[in-house]
Structure 1
Amino acid sequence: MGFRLIFLLLVIFSPRLQAQSDSSLPVVTDSSRPAIKASDTLIRYRINGVYLGSIWRDLKYTVARPAHWEKRDYIRLGVITGVTGILLGGDYGVKQFFVRHQSNFVTSVTDQIEPFGNAYSPYLVAGMYVVGVIAKDRNLEHGGLMAAKSLIISTAIYATIKSIVRRGRPTYYDSPFSFNAPFSKDKQHTSFPSGHSLTVMTVATAFAELYGKDHPWVPWVSYGIAGLTGATRLYENRHWSSDVWVGLALGHFVTKSVFRHHRELEHKKAMQLMMAP
């Protein structure tokens, strides 16, 4: 079922992935030289030294973003922090709710959704890239690499946080405030944040960035699947609700940062072309 879904999505999107352009860029009207076209400013990756180097540069950009935040960014942080605090207070109650409402039917449904967090999403990203290479579709190939880069960076940040914040999983502890020392190795304290939620939201956000402009339904479907995947982690008693919330938020905003940096680089390239003699 999972592979058929992945194949269907690739068939739908392969011919439709369009290059994004910044409509706010000035138009060169100097008749002495050709006007700059949107295609002239595009940056399209292949697996090479440039792409590998961009992963490190995007990681640094993402980590340094708080130093360049605007008012709206602090508002978003406040919302995320506030919701996290509310969920921390309700984590135990949420756990008990899902424990009390388990059934064979619901379990059969969650078993189909849960793999989006650890299997389907990475396969979909890899499939995008492979199909792009085989079909010689540079946009699709680039899209797969952008999604892969977002996943690498968000996973690196997530793994760092998880190694420091050693929170006990609800599978083993009734208290949501059971913590171990940073960098401890026991598997019982690996709850925060949710890796499944981060993975599926990273890929969902990448798809929304790549396809959302031309297909407004894509973000609804992508984010809907991400949310349902997070809910399966609560149902299976693998994570606290605050783990899932932070995992989703982290995957979303890290991926948005990666794509934002890419658009800034394309804008910079356009400016350089305009200033060239």
Structure 2
Amino acid sequence: MKNIFFLFLLLCSCYISGQTIESLKNQTTWQNFKYDIGSIGGGIGHAFSRPAHWKGKEWLNFAGIATGTAILTLGDDEIDNWTDGIRNDISNDLLEFGGHYARPEGNYGLSSAVYFTGLFIKNEKLRRTGVLMIASTITGGFLQQLSIRILNRARPLTGESANNFDLKFFEKAEGYDSFFSGHTVLSFANAYAIGKQFNNPWVKAGIYTVGMIPGFTRIIISKHWFSDVVFGTVMSILIVESIDKYLDSRYEQKYNENNKKVHWDLTFAPGRIGVKLNFN
């Protein structure tokens, strides 16, 4: 399974390389490296500073995300009970892949490989992709660590309910670090960043599916609730989109010349409340 995945990534890298135009040749590798480090830092700062620029609609959308997540928690216990019945039917290879790929060393190993390949072959698009992946996962990882230390939500494997929180801010409690899923935010941020470069919806779907495997396996082994994984996925998308917009001002290469827009629409109807996400 892992060999197939890395072969797939290699093919994706070759495809990305073939799509790019000739990069600027006036810059040395060291100059490009320093510029890219600045882009990573700038991207992280841009993502963290966005709430300061939010207006009414953005805050309404944030409230919608929070409300939608709260609604999802109502079904967390039932979904966890359902996974008990299918756990033995899930391939060990799939569970192992989900666990290893989404660990920090696996994620940063992948993003570093993408970046340094682009750096040394002087491929700006591949460099930018690596920068986007690194900046996004650092941002997402920091926010996830902050969230679990503030909320201290019980993991399913503790035997507690999905709505059990140990609100001792910044005090680590064993088994109380569930919300939100770090494996999900790391793996899906990388997958979403890679998928943005392709127009073909089937290619995108394949990449996103691989990126969602870690979140799925975390639910199966009772390390996270369903709402932890959904929120981690949403956070990945928002972080990548925010940083990618910033990188538009730093790099000549654009992804498929698409406008990078995420549309959040709140839906209110009799007996229904929801949040709809549309993205390119």
In the superposition, the TM-score normalised over structure 2's length comes to 0.74
Unaligned runs of 5+ in 1: 21-37, 268-277
Q: CA shift at 1:235, angstroms?
A: 0.6
> Are residue 189 (structure 1) and residue 176 (structure 2) matched?
yes
- 1:168/1:191 contact within 8 Å kept: yes
| Superposition deviation, residue 58 in structure 1 | 2.2
Equivalences for residues 48-197 of structure 1 within 5 A: 48=34, 50-69=35-54, 73-74=58-59, 76-118=61-103, 120-180=106-166, 181-197=168-184
Q: How does 1:248-267 map to 2 (within 5 A)?
A: 248-265=233-250
Q: Is the CA contact (8 Å cut-off) linking 2:140 and 2:236 kept in structure 1? A: yes
- Distance, in Å, in 2 between the alignment partners of 1:223 and 1:77 is 24
Query: How many angstroms apart in 2 are the aligned matches of 1:261 and 1:217?
Result: 27
Aligned-pair Cα RMSD in Å:
3.1
Q: Distance in 2 between matches of 1:12 and 1:56?
A: 26
Q: Which residue of 2 aligns with 1:229?
A: 214
Identical positions, percent? 23
Cα pair 2:153 2:179 within 8 Å, conserved:
yes
| Long gaps (5+) in structure 2 | 253-280
How big is the shift at 1:10?
2.2
Amino acid at match of 1:254: I
1:201 to 188, 212, 227: 188
The change in CA–CA distance for 1:149 and 1:190 in structure 2 (over 3 A counts) is: same
1:166 is displaced (CA, Å) by 1.2
Q: Kindly indicate whether the alpha-carbon contact (under 8 Å) linking 2:40 and 2:134 is maintained by their aligned counterparts in 1.
A: no
1:108 Cα deviation (Å)? 4.6
TM-score (norm 1): 0.75
Q: State the one-letter code of the partner of 1:57.
A: G
Contact 1:191/1:239, CA 8 A, preserved across alignment: yes
The 3 A distance-change label for structure 1 pair 13 and 51 is closer
How far does the alpha carbon of each residue in 1:224-266 deviate from its partner, in whole angstroms, 9 at most, with x for none? 2233321211111001111111111112111110001111455
Deviations 1:190-238, CA, capped at 9 Å, x for gaps: 11110111111110121122x124x443321222223332121111100
